[in-house]
Amino acid sequence: MAATNDWQSALGALLDSGNLPDGEPIAQSAPKENVAPKRDRLTISYERKGRAGKEATIISGFTIPHEEVATIASTLKSKLGTGGSARGGEILIQGDRREKVAAMLREMGYRL
């Protein structure tokens, strides 16, 4: 156990001095800033064709992983009280919900 403390003490002293044994300064990484991730520009459309006359709001343009798209779809569906799905980078919301979906996506930081 004493050996462990010796190397830990030596490493701590080395880091405190800010220099390597040959006198070269230790490279310090720049502090990371809290930058909000760039949000996608999304398209909201309305469809009835090919859906047996039923209305659907389609949100497309996502470049984020499918799991995140599915999470957003789940949030939208629960807040709107309607059904829908997330497939292939698109979200389908049942019914004509374009205005409400647009407002909710803007609150989440997405551009339309």
Answering whether pTM is above 0.75, one says no
Residue 83: closest CA among 70, 93, 73: 93
pLDDT in tens, 77-103: 999 999 999 998 899 999 999 999 999
Contacts (Cβ under 8 Å, ≥6 apart) of 92: 56, 57, 58, 59, 84, 85, 86
Check if the beta carbon of residue 95 is closer than 8 Å to that of residue 82: yes
Q: What is the pLDDT of residues 31-60, one digit of tens each?
A: 544 433 456 789 999 998 888 889 999 999
Structural domains in the chain, sorted by start: 43-107 (3.30.780.10)
